[in-house]
Structure 1
Amino acid sequence: MSTPRPGAPQPRWRLTIAQTGAIVVGFLTAAAGIVSGHPDVVVMGLPLLALAAWAWDRRPRAMAGEQATDAAAAAPVHYALTADRAAREHTLGYRVRLETAPGVEAVQLRVLELGVRPRLHVLAASPERPIDVRGRVPAPHSGPQRIVTADWRLVAAGAALLTDVSAPIGVDRTIEPAFVPITALPLPARLTGLTGSHDSSRPGDGGDFHDIDRFRPGDRLRRIDWKATARLARDPGELYVRRTRAQADATIFVIVDSADDLGESVDTWELFDPVRSGTTSLDIARSAASAIAAGYLHRGDRVALADLAVPGRVARPGAGTRHLDRVLRAIAATQPVGAARVTRRPPLVTPGAGVFLLSTFLDDHPMSAALQFAAAGHRVVAVDVLPPGRTDELTTARRIAHRLVMMDRENRMAALRRGGVDVLVWGLERGDPERDARLLALARPRNPALAAAR
């Protein structure tokens, strides 16, 4: 069982309001009897004082069989709050277990699920049978979050004594997003690696047919194309070889904008409600970033992760299974930082890398960063992760304000397209035909000149 930390303030017993009133009435009655010289009046106040003293003497002091010299053992309750490590069927189980000292008769337990769903339990207590409360919490969102918080108050001496409400304890969990790795992979304008799964413009081994050229020193004899030699040779000893494209890999930067986290319900944009908000923009961003990173890493490419709002959140370019696990953990741990803490300097990107920028594009910062990357020669895909908004709960004034904000956002998306940035809308569903068709279109070379520039 978990116990309070040594030196932490322990719960203090106090009399209830009824008992405090009884003490006041008892003292006043006894004082009135003494002043008036009537002993019978004094006797009438003594039972109230005696009952209060009896109740105070019965207050629990420590757990059974433990010495009160230990700060943890002196506590009248030992506690533990645990929750599942992973979500099952979109829910997480939790368990609150309390062991009380002799004399504690009941516990008022309050459990707060997801910060918005309080549950109050009044349970009988005994040292022989610990209190064990179990429940399940919905897990509607991915990322780090406070799953459950609990606090309690102890009752003793026939409800004459209560403790103060304990300090709350909670359990935090990081929920991994659900995703399916993408298979249509838009490639950057230039492939940088010397080996990989993509055909580059350089001649080499392993790729598709490149061209037929004269034999030069360094060419392998098995590359000689005798039919082409018989057809094209003009001088004795002239040979022609069949050349193939070299294999190369791509470097991809996945950049997540964690400045805000906006849900489907526009009414919760100002004050976040995890239950009413529906799917949020960071839910979509985590799922999209995981799908993009897993798709490229499964093909052997190099992937880096960066946060547009927090420069310290970064995973350098890498490949392999261990790097995929590292990137997925970093994506799952992404949480909103608020517009006040957003940095205005975009992250550094490796020359020639492709960039996926995931944002709601509700302000100019992500748009400016995407245009800056495109101007530097990177192929940029702006992934729109803002969920469709529900405005039925808004007032007329707030509905008009939302419409103006969305008009500004459409202007930014149009500016991205004019600046050579590809725009991809990532929907709520994992199987989105429009998104898949858009990815297939982006995976094709945009023009022969761009394909040759690799």
Structure 2
Amino acid sequence: MTRVLRPAVPAGTADPPPEAGASGPATAPEWVPTRALGRAVLLTGLLLILGVLLGRIDLVVLAVPFGLGTAYALRHRPSVAPGVQVDADDTHLVEGGPVAGTVAVDNPGEVDFDLVIVRTLVSPWLRIDRAGPDTGAGPDAGVDEALPAGGTDRPFVLATPAGSGSDLLLSGEALRWGRHPIGPAGVRAVACDGLVACRPVVSGARTVRVYPVTEPFEADEAMPRAAGLVGGHRSRRPGEGGELAGVRVFGPGDRLRRIDWRVSLRARQLHVAATLSDRDAEVVLLLDVLAEAGRSGGIAGSASVLDTTVRAAAAIGEHYLHRGDRVAMLEYGPSARRLRPATGRRQYLTLLEWLLDVQVEQSEYEPYDQVFGPHLLSSNALLVVLTPLVDPRSAEMLARLARSGRFVVAVDTLPAGVGPPSRGPWTPVAYGLWRLERENTIGQLRQHGVPVVAWAGAGSLDLVLRDVARMASAPRVGMR
């Protein structure tokens, strides 16, 4: 069955502010003579010297056109270097979507540039397929040159008259989530019929934000425990809500508007309709960034652990935020980045921005106390831990959370078929032993009450959340 993907970024978001440092330097480099000017001066001088020494007027006559042509070309020399700026539109840019960039070259002087040579760098995760000058005939009229992969490493030539500018349009596809630079771009202009050229002018880079593409995620099961009695989840606790739980005899404290008159007239005794309370929940998404495995191939290729983690976190966060729950984000790593719990559309946009900066950070120290400090997490929060279970500290962290009485769900983000590179005849044997040890660790976690489920998109957590909710509502045995 083919899985349908959809972008995680919502429609109607505000345009991002322009990034600072995207324009060229303020000081203009000086103009220097080219080899063509040196050859013209050398040839003119040699012909004049030979004509005078040998007394040949024909050599002098032959040197006159070169000298006059050089002087005529240099009658108007430029004094201002070209300006260059890199810009890109990253509004609603998602993996697999089109990306467009512009390298704008400006001629602020009064002398025409014969040609402007433009060269720019682009992130390997932004595949630029076509590039060309903007002719002004339409949005795609100037993009007329197809490029192979990595084709932006070649120079492009633009014509820039005095007091105007030219744009080099870049179009392609965003291959992977994250913050990817377009630029820096280098520009060198040639004037006076190719006799003078300015030194290279280098602009800053423009970073574009590419949001992850997520699979549609739905979790229909009730939350294990919630902090309030107002929210979007149906609970197992009777109260004021919209979910009908049954009909019972009228008692003290029942509201008159809850009376079921049909049943009351039939039974000749007042009955009221009982409902289940709607409760809100706090969901904490914990991202294990201690280890990375697999190779990222972009949206159309294989997924690494980090790719699966970010896309799954975006899908789960979107689902619970749209249901009115509070969602928080944590990193289990040395930096211990944290996103405070909140609700609404603003929290969803903040969550997407927060995910763009997720990266693997290895450390030899135990980050548990740094991440789970005192009074940082609610005791009623549902912890969804996205972990590949590669580092032994990840399993120890899950066991400690389970022993502390928290509701923990572990999502296995290790892609299927990921293995080490073959370095000898014993590599498959060692990898097989490691897989057996990992399966043993998963079994021990389940014995400690931590459900471990592999991420499979929509419906991945339904069965797990149902079991956790059932355990949370079950009576606990107390010791006398």
* Structure 2 CA distance for partners of 1:61 and 1:223, relative to 1, 3 Å: closer
CA RMSD in angstroms, aligned pairs only: 5.0
1:440 to 462, 466, 476: 462
**Aligned 8 A contact 2:219 2:462 in 1:** yes
The 5 Å alignment of 1:147-226 reads 147-185=182-220, 189-200=224-235, 202-206=237-241, 207=243, 209=245, 218=253
State the SS of the aligned residue for 1:445: helix
2:92 to 69, 73, 86: 86
* Structure 2 CA distance for partners of 1:276 and 1:298, relative to 1, 3 Å: closer
**Aligned 8 A contact 2:189 2:197 in 1:** yes
Structure 2 partner of 1:418: 444
Structure 1 partner of 2:32: 14
State the SS of the aligned residue for 1:397: coil
Shift of 1:292: 0.9
Report the count of equivalent residues: 408
Structure 2 partner of 1:256: 287
The 5 Å alignment of 1:357-436 reads 357-388=385-416, 396-397=422-423, 408=434, 411-412=437-438, 414-419=440-445, 420-427=449-456, 436=459
**Aligned 8 A contact 1:254 1:357 in 2:** yes
* Structure 2 CA distance for partners of 1:443 and 1:395, relative to 1, 3 Å: closer
* Structure 2 CA distance for partners of 1:20 and 1:287, relative to 1, 3 Å: same
- For residues 78 and 210 of structure 2, the distance between their equivalents in structure 1, rounded to whole angstroms, comes to 40
Shift of 1:300: 2.9
* Structure 2 CA distance for partners of 1:281 and 1:145, relative to 1, 3 Å: farther
Unmatched tracts of structure 2, length 5 or more:
1-19, 125-149, 265-269
**Aligned 8 A contact 1:84 1:94 in 2:** no
Bigger shift: residues 132-141 or 406-415: 406-415
- For residues 373 and 416 of structure 1, the distance between their equivalents in structure 2, rounded to whole angstroms, comes to 15
* Structure 2 CA distance for partners of 1:144 and 1:112, relative to 1, 3 Å: same
- For residues 402 and 97 of structure 1, the distance between their equivalents in structure 2, rounded to whole angstroms, comes to 53
Using the size of structure 1 for normalisation, the TM-score is: 0.69
Structure 1 partner of 2:102: 95
Offset from partner CA, 1:119-158 (integer Å, 9 cap, x none): 4212333226632221212101123222454222222333
Identity %: 26
Structure 2 partner of 1:69: none
State the SS of the aligned residue for 1:351: coil
| Match status 1:304 vs 2:328 | yes
**Aligned 8 A contact 2:366 2:393 in 1:** no
- For residues 175 and 410 of structure 1, the distance between their equivalents in structure 2, rounded to whole angstroms, comes to 37
Using the size of structure 2 for normalisation, the TM-score is: 0.66
Structure 2 partner of 1:346: 371
Offset from partner CA, 1:141-182 (integer Å, 9 cap, x none): 123222454222222333333333322432211122233552
**Aligned 8 A contact 2:333 2:363 in 1:** no
* Structure 2 CA distance for partners of 1:213 and 1:171, relative to 1, 3 Å: same
- AA aligned opposite 2:214: F
* Structure 2 CA distance for partners of 1:409 and 1:97, relative to 1, 3 Å: farther
Unmatched tracts of structure 1, length 5 or more:
63-74, 230-238, 266-272
Structure 2 partner of 1:330: 354
State the SS of the aligned residue for 2:91: coil
- For residues 192 and 24 of structure 2, the distance between their equivalents in structure 1, rounded to whole angstroms, comes to 27
- For residues 330 and 350 of structure 1, the distance between their equivalents in structure 2, rounded to whole angstroms, comes to 21
- For residues 260 and 189 of structure 2, the distance between their equivalents in structure 1, rounded to whole angstroms, comes to 90
1:108 to 113, 117, 122: 117
- For residues 222 and 276 of structure 1, the distance between their equivalents in structure 2, rounded to whole angstroms, comes to 57
